[in-house]
Structure 1
Amino acid sequence: MTFSIVGRSADGLSLGVAVASKFLAVGAAVPAAEADVGAVATQSHANLAYRVQGLAMLRTGTTAADTIAGLTAADPGRATRQLGVVGREGAGATFTGDECFAWAGGVAGDGYAIQGNILTGADVVHDMEAAWLASAEPSGGASLARRLLAALAAGDRAGGDSRGRQSAALFVVRRAAGYGGLSDVEVDLRVDDDPDPVTRLGELVELWELYFQKPDPATLLPLTGALAEEVAQRLESVGFADLAGWAGVENLEERLVEGAVDPLVLAHLRAATPDVTAN
């Protein structure tokens, strides 16, 4: 009923799941991940206990393949299950029970596992794998959220769930990468009921990057001279004495840097104050 990818970032620090399905609120059932531990996707008559049990096994250093072996061996309903697992290191692993509805199957490799059932065909998982591998280039590659999204979108373009589209989700964890550095949940986005959920999920990722992603230090602009004067004028025009106050109201506080301004914040400020002309 679902196609998903479980993945680990190139540096090994981020772990996550992207999933889509003709199923209401698939993000409430399929994904689970824990920073510095691993990630799990359970689907096709999903056994939700796999999420807690799988992470518990990964926490002890059990490999992805052995985690799947342990989970399915103890489950009398394993023939109807599908499962993907990635640990903090090594190859990912995927499992498809013999009684999953066709087309069903998966692929796995170093740091990823891709699986789906009731798909339009094998091209869905193979296109997802190709997109995942391609997004790692050039050196450094894209963020894990973007890599997972790219793979999910490739599966969607290839046909995805043969029954249609309804929901999608993206869940990524990384130590202290959440809001204010006080959570390990870096990305937690869901589209629960939409005719084009993967596209909508992509739009939400763009918003997440704007509001919550830390700015690129290489792009920061020194808040001095004429630029500082312009920013002050624009802030005054909307009733703020400093950038921090305005950014807090606009939900851009995660992009603030002392003594500098993020170009995205500056663009947002300029768009909000179109009638102000800097001296």
Structure 2
Amino acid sequence: MTFSIVARSADGQLYGVAVASKFLAVGAVAPAAEPEVGALATQAHANLAYRPQGLALLRTGVAAADVVAGLVAADPGRAQRQLGVVGAAGDGATFTGGDCPAWAGGAAGPGWAAQGNILAGPQVIDAMRDAWLDEATGEPFAARLLAALHAGDQAGGDRRGRQSAALLVVAAGAGYGGGSDVLVDLRVDDHPQPIAELARLLDIHTMLFGRSAPEDLLDLDGVIGEEVAALLTATGYPPGDRGLEAALAAWAGVENLEERLVPGQIDPVVLAHLRGQTG
């Protein structure tokens, strides 16, 4: 009833899961990930105990294939299970029980595994694999996961239709304000086009919480400083006595752009949003 991809970034810093299904809130059931440890997806007749148990095994250095083997060997319901796992090194691993509804199967390679059941056919997994391996796009990790999910959907996806999708990406200290390891945690629980909606949410997430390259940042002085001061005044945040950076921070906090603030500079994404508010 689900198709997913679990993966590790080439530098081993990011771990993630992208999943879609004709099932309510698949993001509440299938994915799990832990930085510097690994990621997994449990599906078909999902065994939610696989999530903590699998991460616990990965935490001790057990290889992905051995994690899969250990989990399913101890599970009397394994014939109805499907599982994908990646660890901190080596190939990913995938398992499809013999009683999973057709078409069901998966594929795995260095740092990734894709799997699905009740699919339109094996072309769904092939499309996900090919999209994931296409590094020529140069997309960020989360976008690559979503692109693989979209490719599977375009190849037929869940043959029953669409309902939900989710994207989970973790990295050490990468969460909001550095206070968590969750870089991206987006869910579409019930929607006629869940993957398209998930893509829309990821675009918003990237705009609010992403980071522009240091060389793209603009110094907050001279002509740029004058423009920003005028724009802030037009939006009701005149610098006045508090100064330009304080006014910018006040405006950015209201707009949820505080994660993009850089002392003495302005992110071009922030500037574009500010310009857009004043027409």
Equivalent residues of 1:9, 1:143 under 8 A apart: no
**1:68 paired residue number:** 68
The yes-or-no answer on 1:231 pairing with 2:228 is yes
SS at match of 2:236: coil
Residue by residue, what CA displacement relative to the aligned partner does 1:183-216 show, whole Å, maximum 9, x if unpaired?
Answer: 1000000000000000000011100100111222
- 2-structure distance, mates of 1:218, 1:174: 23
**1:246 paired residue number:** 251
Query: Counterpart of 1:111 in structure 2: which amino acid?
Result: G
**1:131 paired residue number:** 131
- 2-structure distance, mates of 1:249, 1:31: 32
SS at match of 1:215: coil
Residue from 235, 257, 266 that aligns with 2:262: 257
Query: Counterpart of 2:86 in structure 1: which amino acid?
Result: V
- 1-structure distance, mates of 2:215, 2:191: 37
**1:23 paired residue number:** 23
How far apart are residue 217 of structure 1 and its match? 1.3
- 1-structure distance, mates of 2:32, 2:43: 12
- 2-structure distance, mates of 1:7, 1:79: 24
- 2-structure distance, mates of 1:213, 1:229: 25
Matches within 5 A, 1:31-46: 31-46=31-46
- 2-structure distance, mates of 1:158, 1:118: 13
Query: Counterpart of 2:64 in structure 1: which amino acid?
Result: A
Query: Counterpart of 1:171 in structure 2: which amino acid?
Result: L
Query: Counterpart of 2:79 in structure 1: which amino acid?
Result: A
**2:156 paired residue number:** 159
- 2-structure distance, mates of 1:199, 1:69: 35
Matches within 5 A, 1:1-279: 1-134=1-134, 136-137=135-136, 141-240=138-237, 241=239, 242-274=247-279
Equivalent residues of 1:26, 1:168 under 8 A apart: yes
Query: Counterpart of 2:196 in structure 1: which amino acid?
Result: T
Greater alpha carbon shift after TM alignment, 256-265 vs 37-46: 256-265
**2:243 paired residue number:** none
TM-score, structure 2 normalization: 0.96
- 2-structure distance, mates of 1:218, 1:165: 41
Query: Counterpart of 1:137 in structure 2: which amino acid?
Result: A
- 2-structure distance, mates of 1:175, 1:213: 16
- 2-structure distance, mates of 1:206, 1:195: 19
- 1-structure distance, mates of 2:46, 2:132: 24
- 2-structure distance, mates of 1:143, 1:58: 25
Query: Counterpart of 2:260 in structure 1: which amino acid?
Result: R
Provide structure 1 residue ranges, at least 5 long, that are not aligned to the other structure: 275-279
**2:244 paired residue number:** none
How far apart are residue 10 of structure 1 and its match? 1.0
Greater alpha carbon shift after TM alignment, 237-246 vs 118-127: 237-246
Query: Counterpart of 1:20 in structure 2: which amino acid?
Result: A
TM-score, structure 1 normalization: 0.96
Equivalent residues of 1:176, 1:182 under 8 A apart: yes
How far apart are residue 156 of structure 1 and its match? 0.5
Greater alpha carbon shift after TM alignment, 24-33 vs 212-221: 212-221
- 2-structure distance, mates of 1:199, 1:115: 20
- 2-structure distance, mates of 1:156, 1:65: 26
SS at match of 1:137: helix
- 1-structure distance, mates of 2:147, 2:113: 14
Equivalent residues of 1:7, 1:144 under 8 A apart: no
Residue by residue, what CA displacement relative to the aligned partner does 1:22-77 show, whole Å, maximum 9, x if unpaired?
Answer: 00000000000001100010000000000000000000000000000000000000
Identity %: 65
Greater than 4 Å deviation, 4+ residue runs:
none
Greater alpha carbon shift after TM alignment, 214-223 vs 116-125: 214-223
**1:277 paired residue number:** none
